Amino acid sequence: MRFSKGPARALCMLLGVWMAAANVCVPALAEEYYDESYDESWSDDSWSDDSWSEDSWSDESWDESWDDSEGSDTEETEYIPEAYYAPIQTNALSGWPQGQAVQAASAIVMDMDTGAVLYGKSIFDQHYPASITKIMTLLVAVENGDLDDVITCSEEVYNIEAESSHVGIAPGEKVTLRQALYGLMLESANDLAMAIAEHIGGNVSGFAQMMNEKAESLGCVNTHFVNPHGLHDPNHYVCAWDMAKIAQAAYQNETCRKFMGTVEENIPPTNMTEETRYFINHQRMLRTDSEYYQSWCTGGKTGYTSDAWNTLVTFGEKNGLRLVCVLLQENGLEKQYLETTDLMNYGFDNFSHKTVDMQVESPTFYELIGFNYPNPDGVIYQSDELKQKVLTISDPGTVTLPEGIDTNSLTAGGGENPGQVLYYYEGQLVGSGQIGFTPIPTGIHYAYEEKRDMDTILETAKKTKRENEIEETFQKAWSNIEHFGENSYQWVVNYIESNRMAVVLAGALVLFVLLILIAIMIMRVTSDYRIRRRRKIEERQRRRREEEIDRKSAVEIEEELREAMKAEQEKKLREEKRAALEREKEEKLREAESVLEEIERMEQAEREVKGSSPVNEK
């Protein structure tokens, strides 16, 4: 059924007036209606080339009608959440550009190249992500799947909230992973999220575990996923810092970047539908027909649930910077776009990249091992190989800083990766560099110009490393098996406790089926026994006849054969007589029928003669 815009718009206008009088946030309602209710009800049956056009429905027409319905009292009754007054941590840095207050409960602007946090407000607080969860779903799917894989959807696609965003995919329908990911990122399709999770992870819980493992590897500190779509669950949460790290990793993947930056795409007819499904990205800052369009915007993802409020991730490139902005628990659709625009422009206008002049004091290999080699004349000799410094600068480091702050004011610390150097300004991460390690010399010139071959040492070291890696892999695999077993057992126990009646009914049904199967097996066994018994009796009779034949003489056998032939002849004669009698009866019957027919013809002729006589008299 096609979604009717007129009645829905009128209803929302009435609701907007009522909620404005009650001092409730109208923009939040608009976002709930448009991005979730409207998009979720949109399916392949209601979206087609013939039924949709830019003129009949657009962001601008919807937003303008909503604004008109609010009248002039909107600003007077605008709801401002308490989070608006929460402190902005980056504003406390000396000489740092002051960022504006936002109504989002948590907000961050991060440089995706350096990892620098340019704007931060409550970035480690826990919030519900809603559909921006799908950025992690996209990243895990792209890293672990083949885009040309064909997904056969199961009943799992129906395991979502009835009114949530979907594209009307059906069990048994086949789509490629590439098509499913476009539906996931542009249409925010929760049914496709379930299909992707089952295809990549085997089941939803397995895929969620992959999501959590990926989050841990990215350094997330306050994130836990339980589903691939972001529909509300108390145990499904993120913080702004973690979401920015996830978005950064996705943006650095070229394939993910393409999915997140596509404006329009479609799924052609499948094995179960003749309609083409068309998608338009919900991130309005990407779309040139939207009032929120920004030329620097390169992608993003929207989200909304009644528990999460509005959530938004936005990517942008300008002035040599590649930034990502994350807003969590934002107060309405309009606010999320306006505040994102302000924060991204704040980053582009006030910050730039600077190279750190890093100096590393490193000992040489000779200084590290602590001795030299004298030659025969007593002169100290050092080989060129061991004169090399142990540490070298692979990457001096790039940081993101505002004007007026010099790199000399930065402090350095070790990173998670070997040789990584992190730079901080008053405890705030602003960039990183890399120190390299000079390879251990494989050959050393001694005092007598002799060269020592270290291949044997290196081969032994490689062998030991391989053995250690094998052992670690085995231990990890065994640990994963134990963890899976424990989780499975706990899941079964929890399921039984929370679904006792269903478990009892299922058990009774299984028992009933088992009883039926046992009855069928007993019947089959009894039937087989009867057949075998009958065959044994027939076999005994056959053997008895054979024994009787063996005991009789040739004369007796001949006499029996004559009697049998005589009986057969008599039987044949009786059958011939019976056949002759039947033929005789049939002939008599035919003769009688002929007589009757003749009589009937005569009577008919007589009636015809009598019927014509009065006419002749006249």
Q: Give the pair of three-digit tokens for residue 5.
A: 């815009």
249 and 313 part of one domain: yes
Q: Is residue 147 part of a domain?
A: yes
104 and 228 part of one domain: yes
What are 289-348's pLDDT values in tens digits? 999 999 999 999 999 999 999 999 999 999 999 999 999 999 999 999 999 999 999 999
Place of tokens 């979720």: 40
Under the banding of pLDDT at 50, 70 and 90, the label for residue 359 is low
Taking Cα atoms as reference points, which of 182, 148, 213, 412 lies closest to residue 301? 182
338 and 388 part of one domain: no
Q: Which of 304-308, 391-395, 424-428 comes out lowest in average pLDDT?
A: 391-395
Q: Which of 336, 355, 374 is the last residue of a domain?
A: 355
Q: Which of 355, 378, 395 is the last residue of a domain?
A: 355
Query: Helix, strand or coil for residue 481?
Result: helix
90 and 118 part of one domain: yes
Q: Which of 116-125, 434-443, 559-568, 572-581 comes out lowest in average pLDDT?
A: 434-443
324 and 384 part of one domain: no
Q: How far apart are CA 599 and CA 589, in angstroms?
A: 15
Q: Is residue 133 part of a domain?
A: yes
Sign of CA dihedral 165, 168, 173, 179: negative
Catalytic sites, residue numbers: 131, 134, 188
392 and 265 part of one domain: no
344 and 372 part of one domain: no
Q: Is residue 472 part of a domain?
A: no
388 and 446 part of one domain: yes
What mean pLDDT comes out for the span 125-147?
A: 96
CATH number at residue 310: 3.40.710.10
266 and 411 part of one domain: no
Query: Helix, strand or coil for residue 580?
Result: helix
**Number of structural domains the chain divides into:** 3
Taking the CB of residue 29, how many other CB atoms lie within 10 A of it? 18
Q: How far apart are CA 169 and CA 579, in angstroms?
A: 73
Taking Cα atoms as reference points, which of 510, 345, 325, 354 lies closest to residue 432? 354
What are 20-37's pLDDT values in tens digits? 444 433 333 333 333 443
What mean pLDDT comes out for the span 153-168?
A: 90
Q: Which of 314, 337, 355 is the last residue of a domain?
A: 355
What are 469-511's pLDDT values in tens digits? 888 888 888 888 888 888 888 888 887 888 888 888 888 899 9
Q: How far apart are CA 254 and CA 123, in angstroms?
A: 26
Q: Is residue 547 part of a domain?
A: no
Q: Is residue 307 part of a domain?
A: yes
- Checking if the pLDDT of 591 tops 50, the result is yes
Q: Give the pair of three-digit tokens for residue 80.
A: 């401002």
What are 445-465's pLDDT values in tens digits? 444 444 444 556 556 667 777
Give me the count of residues in the chain: 618
The predicted structure's pLDDT at residue 12: 44
The predicted structure's pLDDT at residue 3: 37
Q: What percent of the chain has pLDDT over 70?
A: 74
330 and 424 part of one domain: no
101 and 58 part of one domain: yes
Give the residue numbers spanning the domain of 569. 558-608
Q: How far apart are CA 213 and CA 219, in angstroms?
A: 10
9 and 59 part of one domain: yes
Is there a contact between 90 and 119 (Cβ–Cβ < 8 Å)?
yes
Q: Is residue 180 part of a domain?
A: yes
Q: Is residue 538 part of a domain?
A: no
Query: Helix, strand or coil for residue 279?
Result: strand
What are 260-277's pLDDT values in tens digits? 999 999 999 999 999 999
Q: Is residue 537 part of a domain?
A: no
